[in-house]
Structures are given as C-alpha cells and as structure tokens.
Amino acid sequence: MFDKLLFFSSFLLTISGAAMVLGSKDLVRACIALLACLFGVAGLYATLNADFLAATQLVVYAGGVVILMLFAIMLTGGSNNAVNRFGINKVPSMGDGKTLAFGILSGAVATLTIFKITKNVFIDYNLQEIPGYSSTVEQIGQLLVTNHVLAFEISSILLLGALIGAAVIARPRKS
C-alpha cells in the first residue's frame, strides 16, 4: 500500500513536472518544475527497488544540477530578457506558439517512433515473479568495483574533466 501510494504520488509529480517544463513560459518555473519532475523520478526509482539510484538522483539533481541551472539563469540575465541580439527570425526566447506546436509535433513523432520499436515490450514482456524489496547498495558497490570498474574509473575521469573544463570555459577573460 505504501509503495502504491508512493508510486502514484511520484507518477503524478513526474508527469506534471514534465508537462510544466514544456508548458511554462518562465524559465525559473520550468526549472522548479524540472526539480519536481526529477524528485518524482527519484520516487519512481524508490518504488523500483532502486534505493541507491533514488538517493543519487536526489543528490545530483536537487543538490547540483538544478541549482546550477538556476545559477546559469541568473548569470545570463534571467529568463525573460534573453532576446535575439541580431534580430533575425525574431522568435521569443521561450518560443512562441509556432515553435511549441512544432516541438510537440516532432516530440510526438519521435515518441511514436520509439514506441514503434518498443511496443513489444509494452505488450507482451515476459512476466516474472517480482522479488521483494532488498538493499541494492552493496550489490551496486560490488558491481562498480568488479564488472564495471573501467566504466567507473572513466566516469570519474569524465567528471574531473567536466569539472576542470567547466571552470576553464566559464572563467571570465580580460578582453
């Protein structure tokens, strides 16, 4: 009962968050919506017996990415005054109806395409006995230092590279 409750609340949070990201004209609000959406996804992970993933999702997105996004918004002059400097094809920064329609259309086409590939999974996947909840932290830890150790190390290098790269790129230069 707890897990169903959790699932549906997370489901709603995710769906509505995603919809708000699409629908909001305000960039900051879109960010908040994204946070909600990602929080929902974390909840979904929790219901999927992916406790570690859930926590990671929280740590990385809530604590890192979203704040970064907000910072970027602030540092680039907020959401609304980002206009096309050259005045060509004067589309508002957050798009207008035309772009929205176009986006929804292409999103739908792409989604349908993916659906076309994966419809078998939807329809008849091999139903199995689904085990109960159990801790995955130890197993993930084991996997990370055994089977996936190379990927783990590479990802650490990737993060380091991203860290340094971001710092270097964003550093203001004397003109």
Partner 1 sequence: MNPTFVTYLEQFLGYPATNLMAAVFFLVAVSILVGVMATIGGLGTYAERKISADIQARIGPNRVGPFGLLQMLADGVKMILKEDIIPSKADKLIFILAPMMAMFGVFATLAVLPFSSGLTLTDLNIGVFYVLGVGSFVGVAIFLGGYASNSKWSMLGGMRGASQIISYEIPVTLSILVAVTMAGGLSFSTLVEAQTGLPHGWYLFHNPFSFIAFFVLFIGALAETNRAPFDLPEAESELVSGYHTEYTGMRFGFFALAEYVEVFVVCGIAAALFLGGYKVPFDLGNGEVLSNALMNIPFLKMVVPMTNGTPIFKLLGSGLGQLLQLGSFFTKTLALYYVVIWIRWTLPRLRVDTLMTLCWKYLTPIALFNLLGAATWMVVFHGKSIYQIIFESGAAQAVGGH
Partner 2 sequence: MDYTIWSVGLIFLLPFMAFVVNTVIVKRFTTLAVGISCSAIFGSFLLSLRIFSDFQNKFAADYHIHKVFNWMNLSGGDQTFVVDMGVYIDNMGSIMLLMVTGVAFLIHIFSTFYMRDDARYGRFFVYLSLFTSAMLGLVLSDNLLSFFIFWELMGFCSYSLIGFYYEKNEAGDASIKAFMTTRIGDVFFLLGILAIWSVVGNVTFVDIYRFIGENGFVGKTADLSFFGTVIGIPLATFAGLAIFMGTIGKSAQFPLQVWLPDAMMGPTPCSALIHAATMVAAGVYLSLRMYPLMEAGNLNYFIAIIGGITAFGAATIALIQTDIKAVLAYSTISQLGYMVLGIGVGSYTAAFMHLITHAVFKACLFLSAGSVIHSLHDHHTHEHVQEMPRMGGLRKKMPFTFWAMMFCTLAITGAPFFSGFVSKDRILGDAAVQLVNGWKWYIPAILGYGGAFLTAFYMFRMMFLTFFGEPRDKELYDHMHTEHFSWNQNLPLLVLSVFTFGAWYCGSFTGQSIAKVPGVQNKEWFSTLVTKPDVNNFTHYQKQPWEKVDKKSDLVFEKSHYDASHGLEEKEAHRVHHVHVIGAIVSVFIFLGGLLMAMMMYYWKKWNPGRWTSAFSFWYRALQNKYYMDDLYIKIIIQKGLLNLNNFLAFLDMGIYDRYAVDGMAKVNSWAFKVCRWFDDVIVDTVVVDGTGASVRIFNVVLRTFQSGKIQFYIFMILFVMVGYIWQLNI
Partner 3 sequence: MSLFWYLSVSFVLFFCGIAVMIARKNIIAILLGIELILNAAALNFAAYTRFLNQNLDGHIMSLFIIIIAAAEAAVGLAIVIRFYQIRESIHIDDATQLQH
Q: What is the footprint of partner 3 within residues 124-143 (CB under 8 A)?
A: 125-126, 128, 130-131, 136, 139-140, 143
Residues 68-97: x where in contact with partner 1 by CB under 8 A, - otherwise, as a string: --xx--x-----------------------
On whether the CB atoms of residues 43 and 6 are closer than 8 A, the answer is: yes
Tokens representing 130 are 């689904």
**What CA–CA distance (Å, rounded) separates 92 from 101?**
14
Q: Name the binder of 122 from partner 3, partner 1, partner 2, none, CB < 5-8 A by kind.
A: partner 3
Residue 113 interacting entry, from partner 3, partner 1, partner 2, none, C-beta within 5 to 8 Å by type: partner 2
Judge whether 26 and 33 are in contact, CB under 8 Å: no
DSSP characters over 13-39: HHHHHHHHHHH-S-HHHHHHHHHHHHH
Does position 2 interact with partner 1 (CB under 8 A)? The reply is yes
Site string for partner 1, 40-59 (x = CB under 8 A): --x--------xx-xxxxxx
Output the CA torsion 140→141→143→148 (10° steps).
Answer: 110
Can you tell me which of 15, 19, 63, 83 binds partner 1, judged by CB under 8 A? 63
